[in-house]
């Protein structure tokens, strides 16, 4: 299948003219550039285009899902918005929005969508925009304190045939707003599916927003997620990205610190097995003085799976008095598992404190021996060590319900 034929299949026919200008601009660029291949340094280890070309035939998808949502995240059922193949399902959703939260269609934010279209935009973001028909905007009011997380559940349903979904979410946190938004990506069906999600987050001055992305997709799912974040003066943004599977997953997280005394905290966990493939690319751009960023990503690879971490920190010339720290740690449980890790710093300022590093190894033999010497079986001992290793990241999820949910998935995954 030629690239032009593949793009023609992936780009959905518009149902309205709301985004015609943005769609046309994005379509023109993506058709000229094509989807990235191994020749593209940013996608060197994650050749999604090749899989899409080889495997995707006719696809569609239905808006009905047999997935049982009742027990997905206990005690948060009142704040769950459910999307099936990128479309909000009023029937499956159950939400009683607290005061301070409003939800509208993304059509009301057309000008922000149009700003995303440019020659330097990621190809998959352009692909999402070229197919854009609908999406949602979540607005958090000035000084609002939202105690319970707002949960967005994205189901890519390939129960009847191959499916493609292009979800689009815009989150605006007004001045001094505090809230947690969680996005959960799951699959339903045995046919191959492709989710190409875009989430844009704007943190106004003195706001404090937390964003949690949970990927628990099956071995038939391809996933690309572009999350773009703008952080204003004195705002704090916390990002948590956890992935527990998927045929091939690529997470692009790009954060711009645009206002002085702003802060970004990035945490990530990826757990792979069999032939699963998870790729995390992060960018933190320090554009102004007196900003902080902290980043910790951890990986557990088993079977013949593959993990990739590429983290970049930019410190612009005007961004004096910058503190930026980045760490990537990995455990390989199998001789056939692999990790490619590349932490990077690009610094043009001179008054900075910055560090980055990575480690890769196997379970600590001395710790394992210590547990075995106290009568703990080998399998249980390994689980205890892996649980403790992963919980350094998971324990940073403040909401108890979300934290418990992620821990349960972890225990199921590492006990397989």
Do 146 and 178 meet the contact criterion of CB atoms below 8 Å apart? yes
**What whole-number distance in Å separates Cα of residue 214 and Cα of residue 282?**
16
Q: What is the pLDDT along the chain (416 residues), one digit of tens a residue?
A: 444 566 666 766 555 566 778 888 888 888 888 889 888 889 999 999 888 887 766 555 444 554 555 446 666 667 888 898 888 888 888 778 889 999 988 776 666 666 667 667 899 999 998 888 778 999 999 999 999 999 999 998 888 888 889 999 999 999 999 999 999 999 888 888 999 999 999 999 999 999 999 999 988 899 999 999 999 999 999 999 999 999 999 999 999 999 999 999 999 999 999 999 999 999 999 999 999 999 999 999 999 999 999 999 999 999 999 999 999 999 999 999 999 999 999 999 999 999 999 999 998 888 888 888 888 998 899 999 999 999 999 999 999 999 999 999 999 998 87
Do 305 and 335 meet the contact criterion of CB atoms below 8 Å apart? no
Contacts of 183 (CB under 8 A, 6+ apart): 151, 152, 154, 169, 197, 199, 211, 212, 213, 214
Question: For residue 167, which of 103, 206, 207, 124 has the smallest C-alpha distance?
Answer: 124
Do 187 and 86 meet the contact criterion of CB atoms below 8 Å apart? no
Q: Strands, E, within 114-233: which ranges?
A: 136-140, 150-157, 162-165, 168-173, 178-188, 193-203, 208-215, 221-231
Predicted TM-score (pTM) of this structure: 0.93
**CA 85 → CA 15, 149, 185, 202, distances in Å?**
15, 22, 11, 25
**What whole-number distance in Å separates Cα of residue 364 and Cα of residue 108?**
53
**What whole-number distance in Å separates Cα of residue 23 and Cα of residue 18?**
9
**What whole-number distance in Å separates Cα of residue 200 and Cα of residue 233?**
18
């Amino acid at each position: 299948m030629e690239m032009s034929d593949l793009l023609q299949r992936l780009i959905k026919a518009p149902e309205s003219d709301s985004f015609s200008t943005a769609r046309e601009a994005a379509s023109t660029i993506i058709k000229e550039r094509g989807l990235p291949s191994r020749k593209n340094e940013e996608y060197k280890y994650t050749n999604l285009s090749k899989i899409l070309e080889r495997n995707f035939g006719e696809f569609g998808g239905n808006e009905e899902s047999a997935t049982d949502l009742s027990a997905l995240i206990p005690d948060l059922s009142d704040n769950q918005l459910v999307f099936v193949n990128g479309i909000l399902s009023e029937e499956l959703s159950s939400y009683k929005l607290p005061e301070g939260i409003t939800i509208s269609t993304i059509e009301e934010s057309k000008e922000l969508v149009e700003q995303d279209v440019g020659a330097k935009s990621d190809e998959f973001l352009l692909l999402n925009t070229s197919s854009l028909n609908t999406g949602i905007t979540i607005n958090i009011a000035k000084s609002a304190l939202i105690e319970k997380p707002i949960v967005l559940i994205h189901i890519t349903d390939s129960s009847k045939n191959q499916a493609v979904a292009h979800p689009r979410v815009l989150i605006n946190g007004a001045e001094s707003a505090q809230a947690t938004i969680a996005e959960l990506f799951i699959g339903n069906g045995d046919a191959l599916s492709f989710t190409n999600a875009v989430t844009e987050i704007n943190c106004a001055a003195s706001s404090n927003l937390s964003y949690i992305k949970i990927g628990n997709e099956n071995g038939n799912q391809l996933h690309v997620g572009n999350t773009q974040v703008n952080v204003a003066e004195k705002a704090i943004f916390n990002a948590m990205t956890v992935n527990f599977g998927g045929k091939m997953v690529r997470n692009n997280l790009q954060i711009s610190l645009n206002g002085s005394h702003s802060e970004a905290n990035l945490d990530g966990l990826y757990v792979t097995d069999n032939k699963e493939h998870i790729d995390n690319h992060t960018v933190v751009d320090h554009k102004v003085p007196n900003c902080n960023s902290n980043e910790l990503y951890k990986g557990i690879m088993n079977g013949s799976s593959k993990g990739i971490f590429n983290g970049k920190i930019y410190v612009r010339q005007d961004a004096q008095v910058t503190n930026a720290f980045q760490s990537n740690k990995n455990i390989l449980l199998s001789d056939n598992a692999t990790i490619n890790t590349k932490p990077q710093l690009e610094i043009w300022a001179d008054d900075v404190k910055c560090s980055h590093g990575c480690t890769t190894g196997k379970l600590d033999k001395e710790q394992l021996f210590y547990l075995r010497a106290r009568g703990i079986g080998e399998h249980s001992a390994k689980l205890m060590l892996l649980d403790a290793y992963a919980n350094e990241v998971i324990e940073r999820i403040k909401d108890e319900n979300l934290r418990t949910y992620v821990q349960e998935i972890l225990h199921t995954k590492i006990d397989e």
